A and B are shown apart, each in its own frame.
Chain A
Amino acid sequence: MKDGPEAAGARAWAAMAEGGLGLEIDARGLSLAAAVALARGAALRAWGVREKPRGNLLVLTAVPGAAERLWSLGAPAIAGNLFARDLVAEPANRLTPAAFVERLRALEAFGLRISVRGRAQLAREGFGALSAVGRAAASGPYLATLEWPGVSGQEGRPIALVGKGMCFDTGGISIKPARGMAAMRADMAGAAACAGAMLALALGRSPLAAVAVLAIAENTTGADSYRPGDVLRSLSGRTIEVVDTDAEGRLALADALHHAIAAHRPRAVVDVATLTGSIVMALGHHHAGLFGNDDALCEAARQAGREEGELLWRMPIGKAHRLDLRSDIADILQCAPAGQGRQPDACHAAAFLREFVGETPWAHLDIAGVELAEAGNPLAARGMPTGFGARLLARLAATPAP
């Protein structure tokens, strides 16, 4: 069990349960924690979009009662992770922005309060950046808010989770190359992770309040697309010069972050997004990028990730990264212009987002590269969604501020 019992359980499931006969694991020689982790791993690996059930998992243990109790503590996070995977796996013709919102409304059954702003309201209220990104598409944009009040009865400030939910990303006018574009159906994985985390908090009856603000849109080309060179007035009042319409995630997040902070006064805000190719070049597929303005929050996020097997690596926002975003005609450039050589776009994106969070403790998870499983990821089949972030965020949101 080189990479832990969870991975071992997952590998066991992948190897043995393909035939639809299920799996029995004899965990009597293992600790209680390891036995339950084996079951968690198998349960995660057993997720699939095919309809046919593949049998049951039976774990033999000397202490079934205790194992059941421990399992039930972890089950909400698994449910949240799998909910996120379901969303990410959906193709973009099925999971349109409107359909995404409908899927979120179904979470009301678990005690979450859902409210949704549509295109007209967003435009009216000044969500200029999100509105621009989504306006060429037939569906959306939306800003969906999911609230969990917490069961402690205390009026604590919530943690805010902010997710990028680009149901499909063509790149817009700065259109992407055809090759590999199909993977852009997963460009809403950040929002899916936040929604999954909220489901986990509700199922686990988390004592602490949490709110998720999801920017849901489709970035497509059209006669009414926003353009490179456009200047947008964001919800915060700051003006943004667009350089590349394919750097749309940070625009949507700018408005969502500002709204989350202004409307909910959170104790901390964490955004999650499949934001940049640069982070894949930097960290590959085995860590997500972690940026932030608050060391304690970042460390708490990193720790939560370690405990859930979702690894984060802290990345810098240097002085130069902000200076690179000076605009000649607006408050800030959306990204550094291409044609100036290779660019640390993940760091630039983080420097950009920082402008919209003010003094609130903030962490930014760039999960591009880990939202779909690469070879060697035991918890999901190759190429399939990982649900990365849902478990980490659920743990972080259920942990009192450091």
Chain B
Amino acid sequence: MTATTVEAPPAPPAPARSQRLRDPAFWADWAALVGLIGLTIVFQALNSTFLSYGNVQSILVAAAILIILSIGQTFTIATGGIDLSVASVMTFAACAFGWAFTQGWALPLCMVLAVVTGLVFGAVNGALIAKGRIPDFVVTLGSLSAASGLALILADGKPTTVISPFLLKFSTRGIGLFGWTFLLAVVIAVITHVVLFNTRFGTHVLAAGGSPEAATATGISTARIKIAVYTVSGVLAGLSGILLVARIGASSPAADTTMTLNTVAAVVLGGVSLLGGRATIVGPVLGALVLTVLVNGLTLVGVSQFYQPLAVGIVVVLAALLMRFQK
């Protein structure tokens, strides 16, 4: 082989930092972090209470649900799919919680019910996509509607008050700057990060998303992976349902359609490829923080609420533009 190794370079070390900073792909990968820092500087300049202890605390608590839902969304998008039903499943799980609570179930059982509700919805989504061979978009669009409908039916269209000292503490207390709900989101982020990058399952998720043919050729069942990722997304939506009940002290069947779109926005901001195969957990977590900071900051600066969806839209499209440099 002497003649053929001419152009074989020795294993190059990771590119130097200065070189990485000049690469647009680096900025695309870290769009969410750059956006977060940029927004923080702008809002702090416009209103000095932005970085006050109380406001940072409330931003983190407000971000918790979006972070958890976005992590679930990351798994489905990593396989090249999308889960449009996350927010509706969360609402339905919250209503299931409220229903069980009024039936006199113990609090832990109510929580289990909420998570199981999400799990079942996710598993059904995954099974329909994988075994029924229906596109992800169509299945989850259907379950978006189904979950919202079931929530309305179960709650009879009315919110149910849930008075629980434990949930109140859970949503209002914490350790210093970090509320319990935010800490829960961080714990989930750490666990899912390990799952994605340090387990066979995580590798297979990325393989199934990156090249279904190659994954199948090596014996990976892409159907099982699909079912698994939608189940993960469903479980996290169920968990978010509990946080939602804790946050507003009631379970409401009112649909929150912007939440689903925000999870997709957070994932895109986080540098995850919508085509699948490439994902991080840190990215979408930062993406969710960017969106929360944006809404919080605009409110603080006194911009009308009506401008907030517009601002979110602009930020997401800008991030997507930056993503073109990712390759």
Answer whether A and B are interacting partners.
no
List B residues at the A interface (Cβ < 8 Å): none
